[in-house]
Each structure stands twice: as structure tokens, then as C-alpha cells.
Amino acid sequence: MPNNRTALITGILGQDGSYLAELLLQKGYTVIGMDHAAGAANAVQSTAQRFARVQSILGSITLAPGDLADQASLLHLIETYQPDEVYNLAAHTFVPASWGQIVCTGEINALGVARLLDSIHQARPQARFLQASSSEVFGHPIESPQRENTPFSPRTPYGIAKAYAHWTTVNYRQSFGLFAVAAILYNHESERRPPDFVTRKITQTAARIKLGLADQLPLGSLDARRDWGFAGDYVEALWRMVQHEPPEDFVIGFGETHTVREFCQLAFGRLDLDYRDYVIVDPRFVRPPEPVQLIADPTNARQKLAWQPTLTFEQLVQRMVDADLQQLKQGISRP
């Protein structure tokens, strides 16, 4: 049933954008997706690859050109579509890559958010805005688990840019009265996660090994820990935040950490394989040790938003392995 509300999603072709678009369509929204590579000569992926995550809903959404680097394109989008809700999910998302693109990361992940908020302030101040903030803003936190008021201490260019974006969001709320909120998101995964990230790298490679298409999985530290959840659950939290009054920032995470080793054990085990026969440690993927754990305290989200993850860690791993095995068997090329 149409609900007469229009949502603009930046990053719609990414993991979260695709799940959020599906959720909002189910709720009757008109969904506009900003596509920064529309018609661009520099698009590095084929059209089929770029649209793979939204293939099933392409006929139900409107894709419009726009780029977080380009203020005029953002203003034009807001003026044209007059969205009721804006979800800023677009970003350069792979943390290690941010060291090689420090200025570019700031340009998109930090200043891009200021450009978008400024466009909303000018052309649609009654719109509700959500910023995808990140647990990386905590960097080396002074406490574990982290809550909404845990001080920021970012340690990567990605985290620094996300901290700027976070405070810019808070400031547009406090200084201009915009409904602007930031979700401090912990790692969330799915079969739509780009394969540079460790979870998808493991599930995709394990499935390839099972089918005889690969024989090794080179990884970094197996003892690294993350607070992992399912992306489909996290976009539900984003939507709930935008409906919640008064506007408020939330930590969104599972509240439980697991090691990369545990992820490997479960993923290979799902395929009746022993990860120790295939996983090798490759120094190229080893990162500096993380002295303090990033782990969420999602109490506020559970209490005030009645948000509850639906998939456990084990179910998440199984879902991703099963999906990758099926995709490979069907010869489907997905990012």
C-alpha cells in the first residue's frame, strides 16, 4: 500500500542501501536512489555488477544521478524529489583503503555529509535525515562496551571522517532544528557484503573451495574480534530511528564479539570442511593489534526503538555460506 512518503537513499546500490530500499518499498514508500556512477565514463564495474544488489527491485525504484562530492547535484536531488526521509548510506567503506585515500575519504565521508545536510537545510528542512555513523569513531575507546556517550577516539582516516560527519549531523539538529540523527553502526554483514570484507571473503572462498574452484584462503589475524550482525536487521534499526521522536542518536550493534577464527570454523564447518586445512596467514592482510575491543551496548536501541536482531552469529554465517554456495553453483556473478 502506498504511504505517500518519499525516501531518498544514497548508497542504494551498496549492501545496506539495497536492504533498506526493499524494506521501504514493503512499507509503501516511493524510493529514490542516488547513483553516483550513473552514466559515468569512469564506472569501474559493469552495469550488471553495479545493479546486482537491487536487481529484483529495479522496476520499483527511481535511480537519479548525484554524488556526495558535488553540492549542486545534491541540491538538485532534494529540490526535485522533496523527500520526507533521507538516509545517507553512501561512503568509501573499506577502512584499510582509507589510509591510501585520506583526502578523498574526508571529501566523501565527511564533507559530503555537510553538503547533503546543507542541501536539505536549504531545500527541504522538514525532511528527516539519518547518517550512517560507525563504531570506528570510537577507535581506541576508553570503555567497553561503547554507548552513545562514549568519547570518540578515531584511529583511521575513515573513523576521523565518520566522526566529522557524526558531529555535523548532531550540529544541524542542535543549531538548525533539523530532524537529523546518527546511527553508530557496528559491523553488519550479508551475502551482499563486498568481498574485501573478511566475512564475505571467508564465505565466498569457502564455497569456492567446496566446489573445487580454490584451494586456499589467505587471511590476516585470526584472533581479531568484531561485533557482527546481519545487515537486514540493521536497516530495520535505521528506519526505526527515523520514526522515533525526539530525534536521537543510537548505538546499533549485536553486543557480542567473535573472532575471525570462529567465523572460519562455522563457515567451513557448514560445508563439512576443516578451516585449518585451507586458511593461511598472509602478512598483507594483518593489521596492527587493536588494544580495546569494539563492542556495542545496544540497550538504548532495544529499549527505546524496540529493536531486536533476528539472526544470531551462527545463523548469519550459515546464511552467507549457503547463499555463496548457491550463487556459485548457478554461476551468478555478484559483488
Pair 24, 7: CB distance under 8 Å: yes
* Binds ligand NDP (CB under 6 A): choice among 188, 200, 201, 334: 188
Q: How far apart are the first and last CA of the chain?
A: 32
CA-nearest of 4, 47, 84, 139 to 333 is 47
Q: Which does 37 bind (CB under 5 to 8 A by kind): ligand GDP, ligand NDP, none?
A: ligand NDP
Pair 268, 217: CB distance under 8 Å: no
CA-nearest of 84, 138, 87, 131 to 110 is 131
* Catalytic-residue membership of 134: yes
Catalytic residue, candidates 18, 73, 133, 134 = 134
Site size for ligand NDP, by CB under 6 A?
25
Pair 296, 135: CB distance under 8 Å: yes
- Smallest separation, CB 287 to ligand GDP (Å): 4
- Smallest separation, CB 11 to ligand NDP (Å): 3
Burial of 330 (0-12, 13-18, 19+ CB in 10 A): exposed
Catalytic residue, candidates 81, 158, 164, 275 = 158
The nearer residue to ligand GDP, 131 or 199, going by C-beta atoms, is 199
Residue type for position 271 = L
* Catalytic-residue membership of 29: no
How are beta strands 279-281 and 62-65 bridged, if at all?
A: unpaired
- Smallest separation, CB 257 to ligand GDP (Å): 11
Q: Which does 194 bind (CB under 5 to 8 A by kind): ligand GDP, ligand NDP, none?
A: ligand NDP
Question: Dihedral, CA atoms, 115, 116, 122, 127, nearest 10 degrees?
Answer: -160
Binding mask 93-112 for ligand NDP (x = CB under 6 A): x--------------x----
Element (H, E) at 105: helix 102-105
Judge if the upstream peptide bond of residue 145 is cis by omega within 30 degrees of 0: yes
Q: Which does 185 bind (CB under 5 to 8 A by kind): ligand GDP, ligand NDP, none?
A: ligand NDP
- Smallest separation, CB 23 to ligand GDP (Å): 23
Binding site for ligand GDP (CB under 6 A): 95, 187, 196-199, 201, 219-221, 224, 226, 260, 285, 287
If you search the block for the grid coordinates 568509501, which residue do you land on?
92
Q: Does 11 bind ligand NDP (CB under 6 A)?
A: yes
* Catalytic-residue membership of 136: yes
How are beta strands 179-185 and 128-134 bridged, if at all?
A: parallel
The nearer residue to ligand NDP, 30 or 190, going by C-beta atoms, is 190
- Smallest separation, CB 114 to ligand GDP (Å): 23
Q: Which does 16 bind (CB under 5 to 8 A by kind): ligand NDP, ligand GDP, none?
A: ligand NDP
Residue 179's beta-bridge partner residues?
A: 128
Residues near ligand NDP (CB under 6 A) are 10-11, 13-17, 34, 36-37, 67-69, 89-93, 108, 132, 134, 185, 187-188, 194
Positions annotated as catalytic residues are 134, 136, 158
